[in-house]
Structures are given as structure tokens and as C-alpha cells.
Structure 1
Amino acid sequence: MSPRRIHPAWFVAGAALVALIGAAGFRAAPGVLMVPLHEEFGWSMTEMSLAVTVNLVLYGLTAPFAAGLMQRFGLRRVTTAALLVIAAGSALTVFADAPWQLLLTWGLLIGLGTGSMALVFAATVTDTWFVKRRGLVSGILTAGGAAGQLIFLPVIATTAEDLGWRIASLIIAGGALLVVPVVVLLLRDRPSDIGVWAYGAEGPAAPSAPRGNAVRLALGALREASRSRAFWALAIGFAICGATTNGLVGTHFIPSAHDHGMPQTTAAGLLAVVGIFDIAGTVLSGWLTDRVNPRILLVAYYALRGVGLFLLPTLLSATVQPSLVIFIVIYGLDWVATVPPTIALCRELFGERGPLVFGWVFAAHQVGAAFAATLAGIVRDQTGQYTVAWITAAVLCLVAALISGTIARRRAPVSEPTS
């Protein structure tokens, strides 16, 4: 391998980061668009939460199969197709005039598209292109979602208020389309495609492109992993992680703050601040994952999140108080800090199948998020407030901390991918 000043892996990681930012637009949308849709059509929070639930379930369940597709057809093709599907789903939302139509746009199309661009994409890029600095790179790529939220959320909130939610939906579609050329030009499937080794590798990787189809690869990884208690500990913990981030806070923080008299744009600004600190927290978590037992990190992250959620009902008010700002900063640092240590544990326990297994763990994350999105909407419609949802989530975080501390340290047997 000829010496280079900058290893090509960093350009691939940069393209992946831009793609994740472009795909993150819809992650910011439901919490902002639910209030305008309710005011225009009178749809209940439960009806709209159902569309978000379908999205979150597909977002998760698509991930392990997307990992198989990336191994078979390559990162660039799958990522490009995913971005186009996201753009189509967001653009078609402007024609919705009944709640069931949101199931097709927010739910089906955007769920499939974002599921193919889920965190398993970051895991696949990291494992394929890096041997050293894996924790740091996975943290940076994971932070791409936060950066997307930071970029899109204030724009979507302001546009929805000033120009209407339809223009805001078109902005999301445009954001996904804008990064397609970057993916086509810079993203490469594997180091051997351009005659280099992975970053930090001491030699070329053995040819390992699987010949089986994506479904068999994904289901084979699940069958093997499900025999391990460590897999179930990771899956349960990550399901609670999803419930307390995307499902609850990501979807219902703005409506909950609005219930307390806070303007929607102010609440959206607070979630954008979460995005700012999420970037710092996730990159720091990746750096720590290279140096600290990832089990210890997960215990600390879940416990800290539980304390924050327990206090949140007493912090919300019509105005932004210092105590709420402290919550936002801490929650931002913790938001997806769980991802780098979880990816590291999947790699440690399941070897080369780590990205596929992480896809299933991530699926559990999104199932948890989906349940939380729907149940919180029901709690709000039935009780008129979100307090029960916040307290329940706090208790679940403490459960996740306890479970994470029990994850086995031994390496699970790894079999060759089947054809």
C-alpha cells in the first residue's frame, strides 16, 4: 500500500457522515409537525403517534436486513436508494389529508428509507474501513444524526410556523436529495475497491463478501446471537434506550412543553440544543469506548438518563428556566452516547457478524421507541399530561443500567457466514 497523507478511510467516513446528516431530517419532523397537523385537521396525538410508531418499527426492523444488503450489494448503492426513498416519502406527505396516509408516508416509505440509513450503517462503515480508532469513528458517525437534528429542527419549526408544514416537509425531502451526489462520488464499498487496506490494518483483509442473500444473512446472525444471554441483555437495554430517546423525548417533548405553555419554536430550540451536546457526548463516548470497559459506560449512561427523566416533570414550564437548561445539556450528552459501547460489545462478542447482530439490537431499540411513541400519546390523550410517561421511562432506565452490568465478558463462538 502506497503511503498517503490522508487515508481514504477518512474520506469514506466523511461521506458517510454527510449521508447520515441528510437522512436525519425526518427524525426531527414529527415532534414539530404534530401540533400544526392537529390544528389543521383535528387529528389526535394517538392517530399521529401511530404513524410514528410504524416508522420507528420499520426503522428498526429494516436495519439488520439493510446490513445484509450492504454486505452483498455495497454501501454506496444501498445508501443512495435509501436517501431517494426518504425524499419521496417526505415529499408525498404534502398530499396527506387523512391520518392513514401518514402511515404510508411517515410510516412505510420513510421508515424503510431511514431504516436502511440507521446506525447499523455507521457500524458497517466502521468495521469495514477501520481497524484502529473504531470507537472514535463510530461516535463521530453516530453524532451525524444529532447534527442532522441540529441543522433541520430549527429550520423545520420556523418554516412550519411561518410558511406551513407542507413547505417544511419539502425541505426535508430536499435535504435528503442534496447529499446523494456526495454519496455517489465519495462513498466506497470496501478498501480493496481502491487498492488500499483498512485504516490501521497491517495487511489486506481476507475476501469476505458474502454470497448469500440479505434475508438469510440477517436471520442467520439472529439465530446465532439469540443463543447468547449477552445478546438479550444488549437488546433489552437498547430497547429502553430507544423508548427514552426517539420514542418519548424525540416525539413528545415539544407537545409536552407546549402543554405547559411553552411556544413550539422555543421547545424545538431546546431539542436543537440537545443535538449540539449530543454531538460532543457521542464523540466523547466513542473516545472513551476505545479506553474503558463499555459495560461500565452503559451502566453510567442509563442511570444518568433515568435521574434526568424522573426530574423532568418538575422542570417544564412556560418559560425556560436554568434547571431545564441543565437537563437539556445533560440529556444531550447522554442521548446516543450508548451507541459506541453497544457497537463495541457486538464486535467483541460476535466478531465479524458484529454489524449484523448490532442491526438486530438496533431493531430492539426502535421497537422500544415505537411502543413509547404510541403509549405516550395514549397517556397524553387519556390523562391530559405526560407525567406518567416520564416517570415510567425513568424507572426503565434504571432497569437498563442493571441489565447492562450483567453482560458476559466471554466471546461467543463465531461461525462463517452461510451462502
Structure 2
Amino acid sequence: MQQKAASGGISAPSAGQEWRTNWLLVLSGMIGISIGTIPSATLGLFMEPLNQEFGWSRTQISAGLTVFAIVSLPLTPFAGMLVDRFGPRRVAVPGVAISAAVFAMFAFLTGSTLQWLFIWFLYTLASLLTRSLVWNSAISGAFSTSRGLAIAVLLCGTAMAMSLSPIVARWLIDSFGWRIGYLGLGFGWGGVAFFLSLLFFRDRRHMKQPSSSASAPVEMSRPGGLTLKEALRSLTMNRIALAIFIQSIMGVSIMVHLVPLLMDRGITSVEAVGIAALLGFASIAGKLLTGFLVDRMAGSLLPVTVFSMPGLAYLIFLTADTSIPVLSVAVIFLGYASGASLQMATYLTTRYAGLRSFGTIFGVISSLMALSAGIGPILAGAVYDITGHYTYLLMTGVPAAVVAGLCVLGLGPYPEFSPVEPETAARPARAAA
């Protein structure tokens, strides 16, 4: 079905037309975004060989992720500024190449923990150029009618990496050793991501079109939207940011402690691991189904449902004992909400803040999410250490989920933003006047 564009009554492409034109863009973005997940997804597989090779403890090895979190937190908004200034392609393509090369550098470790942490520092800087906001910026610019589903498919790249990269890493390590494991993931997986990005990852908002009055091309008008200062003053954007922060701090806390939490309900570790495996599948379903629905449903029902759904999971955990089917339902709710909330936050940001400064604005939101992911599991562990159970954590999560849902209730209709004319085109016009 054809829709009307926001300005001028011009017919916007249908969902089918958008996908026929841009499916390679989504594919390259999905593979590109996956590279940022590989280090954390495969770190556990490298722990044993690194311990055997260098005698490092798991705490020393895990310190790399601490460096990653500390460096990422303040710098992610600056990565968004680069996207807004230079366009996602000019950021993503070199970002993938550098990230892949730096990740491969782990193969040349000599046993120095300082070297280990320094490579993690370099990788963190490089990975800032491959964050989800980089790929989302191009996808949101190419899709309007089917933007929600396109963002959902893009974000499935992280779930794909979480599922497949450990399998690839296990095979490489068992067959060729841990050093080849790092080289294979870096230059193999990273190489595929680089060439797909180089060939197919484009951003029409930062392309130039021929001028009718001169041989030199002129830059196309940029999409409109809020500036960072306007977004920080916007009640709507602050409500969206608060909703995803609450969901993240509680959701990540529960997911990190999920297996011991399930075992506290009276089931075995094998059963708990089997139930926890449902998280990934539910997360993918949450992204795709919510992406499909958000393109077709207006109003607050879907956002409120997504952000309040974890409360149902927490209630089930509080009331269920050893019923594996009931606990499985709770995990499905939790996984679905985890996948859907990130997709929903991204989509709502593109609609209520526009695309003018999307990278910078979502960079700030991403930093809040990183902060919540760092704080939440520590607080959850502290609650357990003090009380000996997770009951109070779950009891806190129920009203927190309600508050998160209320944050996105009644946000109002999507605003219409006028395109921003490029300065390169505006200067000749002023001179002629």
C-alpha cells in the first residue's frame, strides 16, 4: 500500500519497494553489526587456552570487558556525532576494517596482561565505529514504510553472532589453536563484513546528485529532526530514554543471574541451562514480531506492552516453584521483551527525534544502556549476597516494569520534520540574491 510522505503529499515507497531496493543494505548492515558482538560472545571459549598458555586467571581475562565498558560509556555519543557529520558509510567501512584487524591482534599475545588490556582498549576505540547506531542511521534513512521491520532484521545480526560465533570459535580453537581462532574470526568473519559493507552499505542521505545548472554535483537535503540540545530538553525523548534505562538495568540483571535464579526455584543446573537457552530465540522473535507490528500499529499499546512485559516474567518467577513449563514461559517473556525493547527504543528515537542528529542522540541513549548493563548485574549480585535470594530483586522489578511502560504511554503522534538544506547548496543561492 502506498503511503503519503510527510511533506508535499508525495507518495512514499511501499514496504515491498523499500525492501526490493534496499535488501542488500540491510544484509550488509546485519553482518556488519554482528562483528561488535564477537569478542564478548567468544571470550569464554578463549579463557581456558589463555589460562593454560599464560596462567591468567578468569578475573584477569574478564578485565578486558571492563576496559570495554569503561571506555565505551563516555565515547559512544562522539561516535554518533561522527555519523551525523560524515555519514554512516564513511564511519562503518573503515570501522569494520580496523575492528577486524585489531581483534586479530589478540593472536600475537605474549603473556603480558598490560598488552591484553591495551589491545582491548584499541578494540574498544575501533568498535565505536561499528555500534548499532551507525548501521541504524543508514537503515532508518532508507526505510520509512517498513522501518520497524528493517531495524528488527538489522538487530538480528547481534543474535546471529551470539549463536554462531561461539561455534566457529570452538571449531577453530580445537582444530588449529587459540591464535588461529583469533585470526580466523578477525580476518574471516571480519573480512566478510568488510567486503559486504564496502560493496553494499550506502546512505542516500549523504550522497550527491547532479546539478541542473552546473557540472558539479550538489549535496541532497538532509533529513530534519531535533538537535542534541533539543532532544535533551524534550520530555518525550527523556521518557523514551528512561524507559529503556529501566528495562535495561532490570532485564540485564535478571538475564546475567538467570541460571542461578532458576536453580533457586528448585530445578537442576541442566534444566536451568536448557530453559535459559530460550532467551536467544525469544529475543529474535521479539525483534522481528515487534518490528512487523510497529509499522502497522499506531498509538501507545505496543510500546507500553513491550516495556512492561518483563513485569509478567518477574511475577511468574516469584510465584512459580519447580514447574519447568511455567518457568519457560517467564523466560520467553523476558527474552521477547529484551529483543523488542531495543528495537522499540531505536524506532521511537527515529520517529520522535528524526534523523538529523540520530547518531548523537542515540549515542547518548546507548551510553545509558551501557551504564545500566554495568550497574544492574552488580546490584543484583549484591542483593543476593545480602539476602541469600533474588526475591527482593524480582519484587523491585515488577513496579519498575510498570513505570517503564508508563513512560511511553501517550507519547503522541509522530512529529513531521522539514528537511535541512545543505550549506553547499544554500551559499550560491544567497550569492545570486
Common topology (TM > 0.5): yes
The one of 231, 240, 244 aligned to 1:234: 240
Cα distance in 2 between the residues matched to 1:65 and 1:252: 32
SS at match of 2:227: helix
The one of 270, 275, 289 aligned to 2:294: 289
The equivalent residue for 1:368 is 372
The equivalent residue for 2:229 is 223
Cα distance in 2 between the residues matched to 1:119 and 1:99: 29
Shift, 1:51, TM fit: 4.8
The equivalent residue for 1:308 is 313
Which residues in structure 2 correspond to 1:375-386 (within 5 Å)? 375-376=379-380
Q: 1:71 to 1:190 in 2, by over 3 A?
A: farther
Q: 1:392 to 1:35 in 2, by over 3 A?
A: farther
Shift, 1:93, TM fit: 4.9
Cα distance in 1 between the residues matched to 2:388 and 2:159: 30
Cα RMSD between the aligned structures? 4.6
Shift, 1:367, TM fit: 1.7
Larger Rg: 2
Cα distance in 2 between the residues matched to 1:397 and 1:351: 27
SS at match of 1:353: coil
Q: 1:382 to 1:414 in 2, by over 3 A?
A: farther
Q: Determine what percentage of the aligned residue pairs are the same residue.
A: 24
The alignment status of 1:152 with 2:165, answered yes or no, reads yes
Cα distance in 2 between the residues matched to 1:395 and 1:7: 43
**Alignment gaps of 5+ in structure 1:** 197-203, 211-216
Contact 1:43–1:99 (CA under 8 A) maintained in structure 2: no
Q: Which moved more, 1:182-191 or 1:170-179?
A: 170-179
Cα distance in 1 between the residues matched to 2:78 and 2:145: 26
Q: 1:228 to 1:290 in 2, by over 3 A?
A: same
SS at match of 1:335: helix
Cα distance in 2 between the residues matched to 1:167 and 1:387: 45
Which residues in structure 2 correspond to 1:31-70 (within 5 Å)? 41-44=56-59, 51-56=64-69, 58-59=71-72, 61-70=74-83
The alignment status of 1:403 with 2:415, answered yes or no, reads no
The equivalent residue for 1:201 is none
Q: 1:272 to 1:294 in 2, by over 3 A?
A: farther
**Alignment gaps of 5+ in structure 2:** 1-16, 211-217, 424-433
SS at match of 1:226: helix
TM-score (normalised: structure 1): 0.73
SS at match of 2:353: helix
SS at match of 2:354: helix
Contact 1:56–1:369 (CA under 8 A) maintained in structure 2: no
The one of 155, 159, 163 aligned to 1:142: 155
Contact 1:160–1:168 (CA under 8 A) maintained in structure 2: yes
Shift, 1:96, TM fit: 8.3
The alignment status of 1:181 with 2:198, answered yes or no, reads no
Cα distance in 2 between the residues matched to 1:418 and 1:381: 57
Q: Output one character per residue of 1:326-374: Cα deviation in whole Å (capped at 9) or x when no partner.
A: 3333333222212333233223322333623233222222221122244
Cα distance in 2 between the residues matched to 1:209 and 1:43: 47
Partner amino acid, structure 2, of 1:330:
F
The one of 342, 350, 364 aligned to 1:339: 342
The alignment status of 1:329 with 2:343, answered yes or no, reads no
Contact 2:92–2:130 (CA under 8 A) maintained in structure 1: yes
Which residues in structure 2 correspond to 1:182-221 (within 5 Å)? 182-190=196-204, 193=207, 206-208=220-222, 221=227
The one of 33, 38, 42 aligned to 1:25: 38
